[in-house]
Structure 1
Amino acid sequence: MELKNRIKLIEERVEFLYGRLEKCDICPRNCKVNRLKGKKGYCGAGRDLVVYTAFLHQGEEPAITGRGGSGTIFFSGCNLKCIYCQNYKFSHFLIGKVVDDAGLAKIMLNLQAKGAENINLVTPTHFLPQILKALVTALKEGLKIPIVYNTSGYEKREIIAQIKGIIDIYLTDFKYNAQLTAQTYSNAPDYPIICQESVKEMYSHNLPLWDGDLLKKGLIIRHLAIPSHTNESKSILSWVKENTPKALISVMSQYQPYFKAVNYPKINRVLKLSEYRQIKSFSEDLELQGWVQDLIPEEKLAGVHFKPQV
């Protein structure tokens, strides 16, 4: 798509999506609060966009990290709020810096200038209208690298349809495939069906496009394996194989019982080696494309401690 046509498309989507904030139904929570007047829903966000940090991330999947790193922007707040979130300090609480569209565009352009392979929007769902408005400015000022939509997977299919032709790479979680698990750990019993529908929509937008070892367009589905739920992990991998066979799968084994997870007996520990081996073997048997993260010994898990950098 030519730049002028892409900008026109984004501007149309910005107008449409800002209108949804008046009785906010951007995500499946459907809070119906007037965020344009500063009211806050489940995600904790009002009108203002809040950024916690932005930097060149060298630890994402190889296909988006490349040599320069992924230009990662972590937004504060979240519409899912898992009880084991490693980034709970800014996902469950709106800690960070209020940034306007010009400021966010500047962050994007600065990351590009530092050599970022792409712009990686982490937890963007609740700020989608504001992000797209900033993207218009950034594109007009020379942003050329791919845009990565890095999401929990708790997305409305109709909203994902609105960003077709705008987003280059979808990097989505697929956390649960059982209502009880989703309710227990994320207060979202509808997560499995919601995620399935949104992933199908993402998959319909872009077949993989590569430039050497770097992904330029496509879909990466992440699954964080959690303790005591091996069969559910297998169910998710089977679904991916059947429904999105050309998607890349990233199986993550880094789970730690952060935040409130210590109070839940089934998940108050790291993965057992036996659980990891079952999931790894199952993914190999399915011949899925992508990556399975090595199991990291518990004593080497230092956690994630991002500091505000904006």
Structure 2
Amino acid sequence: MICTLCPRLCGVDREKAVGYCGAGKLAVVARAELHFWEEPYLAGCGASGAVFFSGCNLKCVFCQNHKISFHIQGESKDAAGLADVFRALEDEGAENIDLITPTPYADLIKQALDLYRPALPVIYNSGGYERVETIRSLAGYIDIYLPDYKYYDNALALRYSGARDYREIAESAMLEMRRQVQDKVESGVMKKGMAIRHLVLPTHAQDSFRVLDRVKELFGTEVYLSVMGQYTPCGDLSRFPELKTPLKSLEYKAVVAHADALGFVNAFMQEEGSATKDYVPAFLR
């Protein structure tokens, strides 16, 4: 398998080695569990069936899940094994199957869904750094796309994620996601559609303003949008002193005010106190 799944185009033969993301032949599941902390429009009062994959094609220096984005740990699964994970979460009462950082395993996920298709929405929860060709290949498999729009300024994307073309790549991917699925919401819970997430970073509120401006320009004011203030310093930030402190309340409030001024009608904000490591799952070793 010569890997061209993501924009890194590392071309590694994953039958024999691992790619930029750290992934090899099999999917590695760091944790699969009922997860009660996603947005209310995704699971209502219930829980998402969260599948946390190891490996990542972005490796953001501030990643809350750095233990599994920078390191591969967990249980290896082939397509049949992944199908069993989906089935088990459905049996436990999950409201959806939430595939977290699925990009390195997009092909295996399709194979798993060919073996067993849950009677639940399947969510593709990613960092937004996606090849349009890969997203296009997922048409019919994915019900809800949940991409991040991390940065407007590619200089920030290069500094924190090593992705000098992040904005253009992410926007192209999101446009394809939007083309595939239109929003279908029943009793306040999304069954199909796309929702965009943006995490506000310390000292970078101006970049967040530009992200929100661009979201409105591309998708209008009715797009589902989560503006997150849960930034928690994680990982080795010795080279990034500006990220060593939590997000200031005034910074987050300024971004929320900008979202309000733009007129988003399906925007969700976080309460103060969301910035805590208590919400980081204990991953399998």
**Band the TM-score falls in, shorter-chain normalisation:** over 0.9
1:32-71 to structure 2, matched below 5 A, reads 32-35=11-14, 37-71=15-49
| 1:110-157 alpha-carbon deviations (Å, 9 max, x no partner) | 111111111000000010111111111112xxx211100000000011
Q: Which residue of 2 aligns with 1:14?
A: none
1:200-219 to structure 2, matched below 5 A, reads 200-219=175-194
Candidates 221, 226, 234, aligned match of 1:250: 226
| 1:163-206 alpha-carbon deviations (Å, 9 max, x no partner) | 12221000110101111100100011111110111111111111
Q: Which residue of 2 aligns with 1:146?
A: 121
Q: Is the 8 A contact 1:75 1:122 kept in 2?
A: yes
Instruction: Give the drift of 1:38.
Output: 2.5
When residues 305 and 297 of structure 1 are mapped into structure 2, their CA distance, relative to the original with a 3 A threshold, is closer
Q: Is the 8 A contact 2:75 2:284 kept in 1?
A: no
When residues 308 and 302 of structure 1 are mapped into structure 2, their CA distance, relative to the original with a 3 A threshold, is closer
In 2, Cα distance between the equivalents of 1:216 and 1:29? Answer: 31
- Greater helix share, structure number: 1
Q: Which residue of 1 aligns with 2:97?
A: 119
Instruction: Give the drift of 1:252.
Output: 0.4
Q: Which residue of 1 aligns with 2:4?
A: 25
Candidates 197, 202, 209, aligned match of 1:227: 202
Q: Is the 8 A contact 1:57 1:65 kept in 2?
A: no
List runs of 5+ in structure 1 lacking aligned partners. 1-21
In 1, Cα distance between the equivalents of 2:274 and 2:188? Answer: 29
Q: Which residue of 1 aligns with 2:155?
A: 180
In 2, Cα distance between the equivalents of 1:50 and 1:304? Answer: 21
- Count of equivalent residues: 283
1:83-98 to structure 2, matched below 5 A, reads 83-98=61-76
Q: Is the 8 A contact 1:59 1:65 kept in 2?
A: no
Instruction: Give the drift of 1:262.
Output: 4.6
CA RMSD between the two structures = 1.5
Larger of the two Rg values belongs to structure: 1
Instruction: Give the drift of 1:23.
Output: 2.2
When residues 297 and 190 of structure 1 are mapped into structure 2, their CA distance, relative to the original with a 3 A threshold, is closer
List runs of 5+ in structure 2 lacking aligned partners. none
Q: Is the 8 A contact 2:124 2:142 kept in 1?
A: yes
1:278-293 to structure 2, matched below 5 A, reads 278-288=254-264, 289-293=266-270
Q: Is the 8 A contact 1:218 1:247 kept in 2?
A: no
Pair 1:156 & 2:134 matched: no
In 1, Cα distance between the equivalents of 2:175 and 2:4? Answer: 20
Q: Structure 1 segments of 4 or more deviating over 3 A? A: 302-305
Pair 1:194 & 2:169 matched: yes
In 2, Cα distance between the equivalents of 1:248 and 1:274? Answer: 24
In 1, Cα distance between the equivalents of 2:54 and 2:277? Answer: 22
The amino acid of 1:50's aligned partner reads V
Q: Match of 1:107, SS?
A: helix
Q: Is the 8 A contact 2:232 2:277 kept in 1?
A: no
Q: Is the 8 A contact 2:113 2:141 kept in 1?
A: no
In 2, Cα distance between the equivalents of 1:309 and 1:180? Answer: 34
State, as a whole percentage, how many aligned pairs show the same letter: 39
Instruction: Give the drift of 1:307.
Output: 2.5
Q: Match of 1:218, SS?
A: strand
In 2, Cα distance between the equivalents of 1:53 and 1:132? Answer: 19
